[in-house]
Structure 1
Amino acid sequence: MIRQGFADRPRARACVAWSIAILSAGQVFFTGRLEAGQPRRPDSPVARGRALFLRVWTPDDPRARGGDGLGPVFNERSCVACHNLGGVGGAGSRSKNVDILTITKNAPTAQGRDVDKARSESASALPPADDIEAMAMIHSGFAASQSLVLHRFGTAPNYEAWRQNVMVSDPPDRNSHAASRDDASEGNRELPESAKRGAFSLKRSQRNSTSLFGAGLIDSIPDEAIDVPPRSPGIKGRPNRLKDGRIGKFGWKAQMASLDEFVTTACSVELGLEVPGRHQAGDPLGCEREAKQFDMTRQDCDDMVAFVRSLPTPIVRTPANALGRKLFETIGCAACHVPKLGEVEGIYSDLMLHDLGERLQDTGGYGTFTPSRPSREDPLGSSLVRDEPKTEGAARTQPRTSAGELEWRTPPLWGVRDSAPYMHDGRAATLEAAIDLHGAEGHEAAERFRLLSNTQQGQLIRFLQSLAAPRKATSLASSR
């Protein structure tokens, strides 16, 4: 009777509810505030994926499910090491750029413009068998691709010395190591941009890590929303239609059609992990270390993709500069950097390939070396298509990408405030410098920007700077 009477009194019930609320609040206070962007359920796919994204891998890692862990070659030891600007999952600094090595046959008899033409033809033609053998002596991966990843690190003790020697001209050029620094950390010594090795020329280029914020929404955009006629005269953008018919959405060349492919490829290429459907890169020194087991299971990959898919969408900081946005549209930037694509608002990209001119010319596509596998499977998957073998060469196929050397996917501008440096290799430190580099299809918009007054240019830049990383993204400091 006493309990029943107490429960019947509204005031008493309110006091009990208030007490429970205070106790709950106190428990949250004393156990620590839940980090922004951190999943509430520690056993959820997103939570498990987040742990994998932050994991620092080691060679022969005991957490590698029986695989060989990190390596034998890799560019970093964790995903977050290259994706942290503006928070966990953001873009990467220029110091984390991926090195790409491209080989071409020298044309000693050509002169002037004929040199460029000969090199271009050499790059597109299938090398004869003797050349393939000679190229493979420089890097084993050249037996399958004329452009490949030159990984920053390797588990072999002499990998760093080998990596430095790849870009030493033959005979040695006194200036070939002018850009190197004795005090540079292992794997981060700046290599020359070019070198000559016998009858061949080597060129080093780079790729900057892209932001992953909003990647889940990009993955949801249907192909038909991308494959549309040009939105403005003089703009000839096209979707990167992959070999299997799907349209690429991810990567600087739009070489990946799905977020799953993009994430799992990064695990195999950048971390050297063996994952389902993606072989880890091999050791070009010839030290076979083929993984006997997967380093990450299919469930691990699904969890990682779930985490990346859950990353928050970039925001527009208030007050947004309305005049700057109007100028952005008026001078023609919005012809490629479309504000809305499909049902995704604020992306500022059409995800198409556009010719940006010779100043941004670079290798089209690239692969990685996977030894002892006759099929020479490329971890870049559907981004690489193959030409039919030429009769004068060996019975092999030449990987290439459907994106040309002048073509680049329009990078989404959401979050651009917190994703410097800009362009595919991070060569532009500022937004103004990035705009100035636009040529060919982007030339007219860049020229109109130059003709704006200083005040108008400032308004447009302030508009772009309002496109920021999500506020609720977990900071790198709070993740450690």
Structure 2
Amino acid sequence: MRFPLLTLALTGAGLASFAATPELAEPHLSVLPRTEAERARIAGVTAPPGDFTQPEAFETNPAGAATVRARTTPDAFSQPSGNIAFERELDFKVGNGLFKKLWVSSPSSTLASDGLGPVFNARSCQRCHLKDGRGHPPDGPEDDAISMFLRISVPAAPEAEISRIEAFLLSLGDAAPRTRPDPTYGGQLQDFAVAGHRAEYRLGLRYDEIEVALSDGETAWLRQPSYSAEDLGYGPLAEGAMLSPRVAPPMIGLGLLEAIPAADILALEDPEDADGDGISGRAQIVWSFEHDRPMLGRFGWKAGAPTVREQSASAFAGDIGISSPLFPAPWGDCAAGQPACQRAPHGDGDARQFEIDAAGLDLVTFYSRNLAVPARRDVGDNQVLRGKRMFHESGCAACHTPKFVTHRLQGQPEQSFQLIWPMTDLLLHDMGEGLADNRPEGRATGREWRTAPLWGIGLTEQVNGHSQFLHDGRARSLLEAVLWHGGEAQAARDAVATMPKADRDALIRYLESL
């Protein structure tokens, strides 16, 4: 097991105290303290399994009481929490309507829906998170990149003012790489624009095939992608610009991930690998624009957002160009190098005050928090149980932590005190050169990624019609996704590549049951 945060010299007493007080770690949640008896029970139910001949208690329900039955349709990720009260379902449905809303450009007679862009990646949340599931890279030259985009940043100039999060991290002795948005293109590249404006770019993508030898005479092929920003609409990128591809991640279980105590996540940190297991995960710490303080990052491929509400508001601004109380700029991600974009008509001038107001943002947040995780399938199947054993014995569970118990919460009964199985520690890990995007983000280096939750991963093809995984969709199967792992996960990856084929097949069967 990795050492508790309080024993780690690297992170220091400042970060330890940051984690120690739940009301400071999660200022947006109304948290009730745990009793000693509850702590003992939690330690028991979240302990690693010792018996792989039968399922563990409650393993069928990865989201606790919020779990829903596994549907056999593409709507499997679009259900409300299984324990949601009838009177709260209306908020979920209204939030769903806003999630699906197609925004239009300003000025428009449709005052409640104008403000799109001027540059954007999609006209609605649902366009990227199709069926609330996983995006994919474009499939050939005729397919657009509607659920994928390129993040962009540049190294901060030596004379650039130190940001609040940089100052906080420096106070802990953490000299994270300093970056800034591109002065012309902002923090991400948008491939669509409203009438009268140019799109910022077109995504260029090509693949090279890599052959990988496996045990028992098997061979796998991996796609090595290369990305470029083509047809730039506003001149060249800034010197030193760093690009990182991102596909839209699935939306299920976000409220439960938000409800995991920060102290429980931080207790899994081991940046110096003090226990010698080869795993040295560390927390992403970000500045909360809503709460004006540092918080644990949880959401996004590099854990760049601390809460579901902030992640939602950031996506409205960056992906659609919609202002909100958290990100009030009506031109979205347009940077100072695009003055015409910043001067364009926008939708802030009516009773809403912002293009999506606080009430609308709260409804989208409620919807996003309550997209339910489907029940596991075939948990008692002998091959699935064998695969579960391989998952643990090969070391996958060292980062894909199976179980947590959420905070006891006031006002959020759906997420309160649930035993959940998200299969993630929500920490940053060095994933090796093969998966490196070479673009730092906050504390994350260009080789680090947040451990992705695995719940629901076996239903990807059913929901989204494809089986493409990882941050850029390069893996065409779960096995390919495993084989791309490197860095801290290299030993686990090698164990999978060299284990008998029957064990490898069982491991994949286990992942498909999640």
**Which bracket does the TM-score occupy, shorter chain normalised?**
0.5 to 0.7
Q: What is aligned with 1:371?
A: none
Q: What is aligned with 1:126?
A: 158
Measure, in 1, the Cα distance between the counterparts of 2:276 and 2:134.
30
Deviation of residue 48 (structure 1)?
Answer: 1.3
Counterparts in 2 of 1:439 and 1:232: CA distance versus 1, 3 Å: same
Q: After TM superposition, list the pairs within 5 Å mapping 1:80-479 onto structure 2.
A: 80-84=126-130, 88-95=131-138, 96-102=147-153, 123=155, 126=158, 142-143=182-183, 148-160=187-199, 163=201, 192=228, 200=239, 202=241, 204-229=243-268, 230=270, 233-243=277-287, 244-278=293-327, 279=329, 280-282=332-334, 285-287=338-340, 288-289=343-344, 291=346, 292=348, 293-319=353-379, 320=381, 321-343=384-406, 344-364=419-439, 401-419=442-460, 420-467=467-514
- Contact 2:432–2:485 (Cα < 8 Å) also in 1: yes
Q: Deviations over 1:103-159 (max 9, x none)?
A: 5xxxxxxxxxxxxxxxxxxx4653899xxxxxxxxxx962389x7201111114351
Deviation of residue 43 (structure 1)?
Answer: 8.7
Deviation of residue 236 (structure 1)?
Answer: 0.4
Q: Secondary structure at the match of 1:98?
A: strand
One-letter amino acid of the structure 1 residue matched with residue 334 of structure 2: G
Measure, in 2, the Cα distance between the counterparts of 1:50 and 1:63.
19
One-letter amino acid of the structure 1 residue matched with residue 315 of structure 2: A
Q: What is aligned with 2:7?
A: none
Q: Which has the larger radius of gyration?
A: 1
- Contact 1:99–1:152 (Cα < 8 Å) also in 2: no
Measure, in 1, the Cα distance between the counterparts of 2:446 and 2:276.
23
Structure 2: where are the runs of 5+ without partners? 1-76, 139-146, 162-179, 207-225, 288-292, 407-418, 461-466
One-letter amino acid of the structure 2 residue matched with residue 210 of structure 1: P
- Contact 1:422–1:431 (Cα < 8 Å) also in 2: yes
Counterparts in 2 of 1:413 and 1:222: CA distance versus 1, 3 Å: same
Deviation of residue 50 (structure 1)?
Answer: 0.9
Q: Secondary structure at the match of 2:429?
A: strand
Counterparts in 2 of 1:158 and 1:71: CA distance versus 1, 3 Å: closer
Q: What is aligned with 2:116?
A: 70
Measure, in 1, the Cα distance between the counterparts of 2:448 and 2:500.
30
Counterparts in 2 of 1:245 and 1:295: CA distance versus 1, 3 Å: closer
Q: Secondary structure at the match of 1:246?
A: strand
Deviation of residue 265 (structure 1)?
Answer: 1.1
- Contact 1:72–1:281 (Cα < 8 Å) also in 2: no
Deviation of residue 200 (structure 1)?
Answer: 3.7
Counterparts in 2 of 1:63 and 1:309: CA distance versus 1, 3 Å: farther
Q: Deviations over 1:161-215 (max 9, x none)?
A: x635xx9xxxxxxxxx897xxxxxxxxxx97368995994655431111111011
Counterparts in 2 of 1:156 and 1:127: CA distance versus 1, 3 Å: farther
Deviation of residue 315 (structure 1)?
Answer: 2.5
- Contact 1:45–1:306 (Cα < 8 Å) also in 2: yes
1:52 aligns with 2:93: no
Q: Deviations over 1:244-296 (max 9, x none)?
A: 33211111111111111111111111111111111322275431226434111
Q: Secondary structure at the match of 1:456?
A: helix
Identity of aligned residues (%): 29
Q: What is aligned with 2:5?
A: none
Q: Secondary structure at the match of 2:485?
A: coil
Measure, in 2, the Cα distance between the counterparts of 1:270 and 1:313.
25
Measure, in 2, the Cα distance between the counterparts of 1:250 and 1:157.
34
Deviation of residue 68 (structure 1)?
Answer: 4.4
Measure, in 1, the Cα distance between the counterparts of 2:227 and 2:389.
43
TM-score, L = length of structure 1:
0.64
More moved, 323-332 vs 238-247: 238-247
Deviation of residue 71 (structure 1)?
Answer: 0.8
- Contact 2:286–2:294 (Cα < 8 Å) also in 1: yes
Structure 1: where are the runs of 5+ without partners? 1-34, 104-122, 130-139, 168-176, 180-189, 366-399, 468-480
Q: Deviations over 1:206-259 (max 9, x none)?
A: 111111101111111110110014487111001112243321111111111111
TM-score, L = length of structure 2:
0.60
Q: Secondary structure at the match of 1:350?
A: coil
Q: Secondary structure at the match of 1:148?
A: coil
One-letter amino acid of the structure 2 residue matched with residue 437 of structure 1: W
- Contact 1:89–1:308 (Cα < 8 Å) also in 2: no
* Residues paired across the two proteins, number: 343
One-letter amino acid of the structure 1 residue matched with residue 314 of structure 2: T
- Contact 2:182–2:237 (Cα < 8 Å) also in 1: no
- Contact 2:118–2:194 (Cα < 8 Å) also in 1: yes
Counterparts in 2 of 1:260 and 1:223: CA distance versus 1, 3 Å: same
- Contact 1:82–1:93 (Cα < 8 Å) also in 2: no
- Contact 2:184–2:237 (Cα < 8 Å) also in 1: no
Q: What is aligned with 1:31?
A: none
Measure, in 2, the Cα distance between the counterparts of 1:423 and 1:295.
32
Counterparts in 2 of 1:203 and 1:261: CA distance versus 1, 3 Å: closer
